[in-house]
Each structure stands twice: as C-alpha cells, then as structure tokens.
Structure 1
C-alpha cells in the first residue's frame, strides 16, 4: 500500500505520517529530507523539488514491489506529482491512499509555521508568507482529508488506520 500525505507546510503532515509509519513499521519517505540531501550534495543548481519527487517515486516503487507499505510525506502541490504517485501505485500493483492534511484554523496554522522546529540540518524553514503564496492545485478527485485544527495527530492516525488499514 502507498499512502501519500499531502498538504501545505505546517498542517501536521510530518507528525501524522511519521506516527503512522512507526505504528505500521512502514517505509517512510520525507520529501524535505530527500531534497535537502540533494541540496547538500551540491549536485544540482536548480530543480531540486522535481528531483526530490523523482527520487522518492523510485524509492517508493522499489519498496512497494517487495511488499512494503510506503508512507510519503510531501506537499504534493501539483497535478503532475499526484499523477506520478498514482502511476507508481499502478506499476507496483499496490493500493493508493491519498491523505490531505489541512489546518482550518488560520491562526493556529500560522503559529505552527512560525514556531516550527526544523529537524533536518540545513533546511530553511518556510515563512508564513511563503506558505500563503505556495502553489497548491485543487484536486481532481477530493482526497481523504484530515483537519488538524479539529483533531490531534493520534486521532488522525487512528482514523486513517480504521478507515484504510482495518483489513490489513
């Protein structure tokens, strides 16, 4: 199974995705970590975002093919990246679960962005202005959505587990 967490920075994706990956002993792919490793290598002057997603796509595919559950933590802001995850699931003959994480409380979302502790060395944290201006396309088909203004990360993990993994 491929579970892709999508949403703007500061919504709570990483906390929920990491907690679910721990609970399932799943492969956890964090786009921020992959992109920062590419930046640190100084291999690319630009295009890090696309490259990070391409690396993650291939890592997900290889892990799905050997039967691992894969959890991806990413903004996933454009239709192209969403289609790529769908194609990876299709190629691996694995179910795809898209989970969009939002924070409907704008003040809480801003507080999270502005007080966020960065756990990836060298990663520049987003500003509230950059989050507000971040590209994030409307989904063709509405994904399962978790609102972290209305529930705790533990409740979100429990809800996702019950909804998509109860037969696992």
Structure 2
C-alpha cells in the first residue's frame, strides 16, 4: 500500500517547508488526530498545528489538504480541504480548523472540518499527507460545493509550489 505517490503524475513544483508542533514528518498520528466520527477509540477529529514558510514571493493564496492515498478505494480519501486561504495565513492552531478562513470543502466523510485518521482494522498502515500548495491567484474559481478532487484539479493550473508533512496510522 505505501508505494502509491498521489503527487507523482502532477507537475513537478518547487517545495517549501511545512512543520508542526505536534507531528513529526514520517511519524505516527497521535490519538487525538484519529476519527471519533468513524468510531476510532480515543479519536477526537482534531487537526494538528501546522506552519508553513519559504513559499515563492509570487504566492497569492494557499490550499491546505489532508489526503489518505492508502484508503481501500480507487481514489483515496480526502480528510480535509481548505482553499482560498489568504497569503497572510501561514499557520493553523491545533484544533483550529473551525476558525481557519478560506473556503472549507466537504471531506469524504461528509463534513467541512478536519476528519481524523480511520483506516479499516487490519488494512495496514495508511499515510495521511498534509499538503499546502502555494497558488498564483488570490481565489480559485470554486465554491464550498466544489469537491476536493476538483479543487486539486484547479491546482494543476494554479499551483506554484508545495509543502508536505506525512504521518501514518494503523488499526490492528
């Protein structure tokens, strides 16, 4: 499962830095980041703190996503998508998804907020890829009803750099 790179067929963009006070890139997802909505014991559906810097000067907005490419579907699973974040927004507090500006899109669980990790028991480790994409326009021509897939299709044309942070979780 962990061999699929969902970004490999997209344009090769410059990278910048995405960090977290509560996550280690390549580490395990903490219990509070797991999904209460999907019945994971101890889960709280709380987004991690994230900060990003070193993006191109011509950046006019950001798109923030969390994606599980290892979900047992042909299309993965979108846990979080926020578009049209102003260029002045360069961080989100732990649990601060509700206060984050921009346009909040429905995740694959049917909510507009962060949906925690919830791989099926016994399915193996899943990756939760947080990505911040620097965008060349202040607003993509989309609204809150636009799916995460279509938001990311727009980034094919308007993304100018990306930053990643990935954690894993496995339900035994």
Which range, TM-score by smaller chain?
Answer: under 0.3
- Give the number of the structure whose residues are more often helix, by fraction: 1
Structure 2 length as normaliser, TM-score?
0.27
Instruction: Flag the structure with more relative contact order, 1 or 2, with Cα contacts below 8 A and sequence separation at least 6.
Output: 1
Structure 1 length as normaliser, TM-score?
0.28
